[in-house]
Structure 1
């Protein structure tokens, strides 16, 4: 395992706020049992990289959304249309972590971010406790602008995997602090709560004023974001205290009506980063597909993936105008094992079930919030959310969860309404957990031809850096 030089390590530790922490290693070092194959020579070099990731996209979710869009909009998913492009380099990606064939999001993103597989739950920290320099830090050292966009908290596992070093992914206050210290140029998503931090001595560390003092434009809603997209310099946008509300909830009754969606944030990030003289590295995440998969929430997962799918033409339009840009589109793992199943005689009811899914107007999260506010089961909210008239037995299941002050009511919803929603929508699930399925990866532009047909997640780090001409060892 090859270390960076002592002087460069000290410089990065000082810059990253990791002084006194474990020694920082280059991401090109290999962990035990984790040996990247030799990468082919880069045929072309990119100025920019756009990395589009759907967190938790099971292959079955693609099938569900594809047939829904064909039925309702008479056109295939943009994701499906990628298969027909001749300028695409397509791969199948192994998503395992160092500790399990089933990865979590922090280990998956860290494999892209540092070039090694690490244990589930960590962010760019090896099983031995070594902190590995993340890919956005390499990009900054090479003079490139950097950006993170997500529908989750910006300090959540996937964006953190490109930019931070913490032993545990829930150290989100520390992750926010590292974003500031490492000078991430564009940060857009939820998670405002981690930018006002209460210290052990009772004092409050308010990061937002510090960002402003460093020249960041700070925005809190869609209107401010639209105006800021026309400006220059670093940009911080925090649009929710925690995660950004699900697309299905924002569509149904204008929940937080001035909250920007993923495509709005993506366009704004491109507008700001496009002005970077030496190019940029931007990660954009549809993070809540994963959350809907964990909840077995068919209506929410469909809308979240469709929102991501609408970002694909934006990315393709940008690389058409900027052929020196590499584009990667992929997911980190599957979640929930979502599938549109056969229903009815000769499966003839599966098509009509794609109409029935439109009966779902709100997410499980929306229903959870309404019932916890009421502190009692309210059948009207179930009717609003799912179009279902709840029975006494269903009400009792949910009420028990409310009385126990459950952190999430999704388990109770699955028990009470899951079979009925499955019969209605023909959407089934293998679990409420991540899956080990291999996943699709698409690459365009310079360097994309170096992506092998079967790629291990940690190999992407080297491919991107090689394409950008960045030396990591």
Structure 2
């Protein structure tokens, strides 16, 4: 073939691919013969996971535990089909979690802030409702409120992701088989603005309601009995902080434990199941530039990945999808004379920046700030650096999402960079193409590059559902 003909044909192929819709992209990406139907699907989302987060968490695991992350082991062993995914929303190159989850849930790009509702008001049926109608058991588990954007995008429609009290009520008649996470304030009559006892409404509707780890682990509900587990107000505590607090460890299950319990409940359905698993606090930590929170919650997510992969390897009928909805903050480990030594400090971290800053008051001395950070993370900052942090407590005014007390996360992260060699691009979402991996039946449908909306039809096709 002549060189100019090669490039002409390549250009025509690229143009054709750009004109394909989501279902056609799935077909076009199917270079292999279609395999067996997926009886089950487990869709794992590390919310807000930039590539640097994936990389650094695996490096930390290698240096601290002597093993690669489960996710990257799958790459090393060539066990998954891998792709890059475009994450844009209908109105922005940079998506939020609501629009991102809606792209998978409804198969259509919607504006940021909306859940499966287009700008013209058109509502799109969420995928878990489709799978439930097809006879499968369905559910979500997350480390943030169960009413939050990512699980909600698989479940309901709403013009506003922020209406979480209403989203909790939308879940009630759906009777999804397992819903677990945080968000106590959207179910408790003591916390809700309307004082409605939503926990009681779920119990009266036939749900098994659990609010602590031990009760969850002991649960063995019969097939068809829906389960609601709500374990904490707001998001669940960061994994690093929870490990140091016996009361939290007794109350709150890990993401891996919730995933294990959800699978054990959902697999009772002989038609199979679809489960979404979200490491939601990865995103919150990225917004705060909180390295300890970020990497240890990514490791906790990786433990849930292992639960899903172990099940799928034994089951042989389960499609596992592992990805993120968007990047966030674009952290990275950067070169310097002490990069290894600095990064290894993360191995000794006991608490997050969130824990450190919540415990400081304007009455602290610089020496007390130094002592608190050293006890939490083994880092000894200077007196001037401590004074710089304290200066923000005269008027707490830092802006940013998931920072209700306006704590100085950014100044602390900038100081820590000299001690950890971790740098940050920003404190918000990015437009990066993101990692996407699939294991099991249906993974052969994945092309090397895909728009987020294509996953909606891919999941239905993989499960053998043509009409939903």
Q: Quick check: TM above 0.5?
A: yes
Partner of 1:9: none
CA distance in 2, matches of 1:273, 1:107: 27
- 2:360 counterpart SS class: helix
Q: Following TM superposition, by how much is the alpha carbon of 1:366 offset from its aligned partner in structure 2, in angstroms?
A: 1.7
Contact 1:382 1:390 in 2 (8 A): no
Q: Following TM superposition, by how much is the alpha carbon of 1:313 offset from its aligned partner in structure 2, in angstroms?
A: 2.1
Alignment of 1:332-347 (within 5 A): 332-344=325-337
Deviates more, 1:384-393 or 1:133-142: 384-393
CA distance in 1, matches of 2:408, 2:20: 40
Q: Following TM superposition, by how much is the alpha carbon of 1:242 offset from its aligned partner in structure 2, in angstroms?
A: 0.9
Relative to structure 1, the CA distance from residue 467 to residue 154 in structure 2 (aligned partners, 3 Å threshold; closer, same or farther) is same
- 1:97 counterpart SS class: coil
CA distance in 2, matches of 1:229, 1:85: 35
Contact 1:191 1:238 in 2 (8 A): yes
Q: Following TM superposition, by how much is the alpha carbon of 1:300 offset from its aligned partner in structure 2, in angstroms?
A: 0.9
- 2:90 counterpart SS class: coil
Deviates more, 1:69-78 or 1:358-367: 358-367
Pick one of 410, 413, 430 that aligns with 2:409: 413
Partner of 2:432: 437
1:65 aligns with 2:54: no
CA distance in 2, matches of 1:323, 1:89: 16
Deviates more, 1:329-338 or 1:229-238: 229-238
Pick one of 225, 235, 241 that aligns with 2:233: 241
Q: Could you list the runs of 5+ residues in structure 1 that have no partner in the other structure? A: 1-32
Relative to structure 1, the CA distance from residue 95 to residue 73 in structure 2 (aligned partners, 3 Å threshold; closer, same or farther) is same
Q: Following TM superposition, by how much is the alpha carbon of 1:46 offset from its aligned partner in structure 2, in angstroms?
A: 1.5
Partner of 1:291: 284
Partner of 2:375: 384
- TM normalised by structure 1 equals 0.86
Q: Could you list the runs of 5+ residues in structure 2 that have no partner in the other structure? A: 1-18
Q: Following TM superposition, by how much is the alpha carbon of 1:291 offset from its aligned partner in structure 2, in angstroms?
A: 0.8
Partner of 1:225: 216
* Matched residues, number: 434
Q: Following TM superposition, by how much is the alpha carbon of 1:467 offset from its aligned partner in structure 2, in angstroms?
A: 1.5
Q: Following TM superposition, by how much is the alpha carbon of 1:354 offset from its aligned partner in structure 2, in angstroms?
A: 2.4
- 1:50 counterpart SS class: strand
Partner of 2:14: none
CA distance in 2, matches of 1:300, 1:49: 28
Q: Following TM superposition, by how much is the alpha carbon of 1:466 offset from its aligned partner in structure 2, in angstroms?
A: 1.2
1:360 aligns with 2:349: yes
Partner of 2:248: 256
Partner of 1:145: 137
- 2:321 counterpart SS class: strand
Q: Following TM superposition, by how much is the alpha carbon of 1:448 offset from its aligned partner in structure 2, in angstroms?
A: 1.2
Q: Following TM superposition, by how much is the alpha carbon of 1:236 offset from its aligned partner in structure 2, in angstroms?
A: 1.0
1:204 aligns with 2:199: no
CA distance in 2, matches of 1:115, 1:69: 35
What's the CA shift string for 1:426-463, capped at 9, x where partnerless? 11000001111111111122211111111110000000
CA distance in 2, matches of 1:68, 1:88: 23
- TM normalised by structure 2 equals 0.87
Partner of 1:400: 392
Relative to structure 1, the CA distance from residue 113 to residue 384 in structure 2 (aligned partners, 3 Å threshold; closer, same or farther) is same
Contact 1:230 1:271 in 2 (8 A): no
CA distance in 1, matches of 2:20, 2:37: 27
CA distance in 1, matches of 2:387, 2:222: 52
- 1:51 counterpart SS class: strand
- 1:282 counterpart SS class: strand
Partner of 1:371: 360
Q: Following TM superposition, by how much is the alpha carbon of 1:320 offset from its aligned partner in structure 2, in angstroms?
A: 1.9
CA distance in 1, matches of 2:387, 2:156: 44
Q: Following TM superposition, by how much is the alpha carbon of 1:327 offset from its aligned partner in structure 2, in angstroms?
A: 1.0
Contact 1:299 1:362 in 2 (8 A): yes
1:36 aligns with 2:22: yes
Q: Following TM superposition, by how much is the alpha carbon of 1:303 offset from its aligned partner in structure 2, in angstroms?
A: 0.3
Relative to structure 1, the CA distance from residue 409 to residue 364 in structure 2 (aligned partners, 3 Å threshold; closer, same or farther) is farther
- 1:101 counterpart SS class: coil
What's the CA shift string for 1:176-224, capped at 9, x where partnerless? 1111121111011100111136899x85221111211222211111111
What's the CA shift string for 1:90-147, capped at 9, x where partnerless? 1111111111111111111110000011111111111111111000110111111111
Partner of 2:299: 306
- 1:257 counterpart SS class: helix
CA distance in 1, matches of 2:75, 2:455: 20
CA distance in 2, matches of 1:252, 1:418: 22
Partner of 1:177: 169
Alignment of 1:5-44 (within 5 A): 35-36=21-22, 38=24, 39-40=26-27, 43-44=35-36
1:75 aligns with 2:67: yes
- 1:242 counterpart SS class: coil
Partner of 2:8: none
Relative to structure 1, the CA distance from residue 34 to residue 88 in structure 2 (aligned partners, 3 Å threshold; closer, same or farther) is closer
What's the CA shift string for 1:389-412, capped at 9, x where partnerless? 563564454453464476546762
- 1:98 counterpart SS class: coil
CA distance in 2, matches of 1:165, 1:364: 35
CA distance in 1, matches of 2:357, 2:146: 23
CA distance in 2, matches of 1:89, 1:114: 23
Q: What is the alpha-carbon root mean square deviation over aligned residues?
A: 2.4
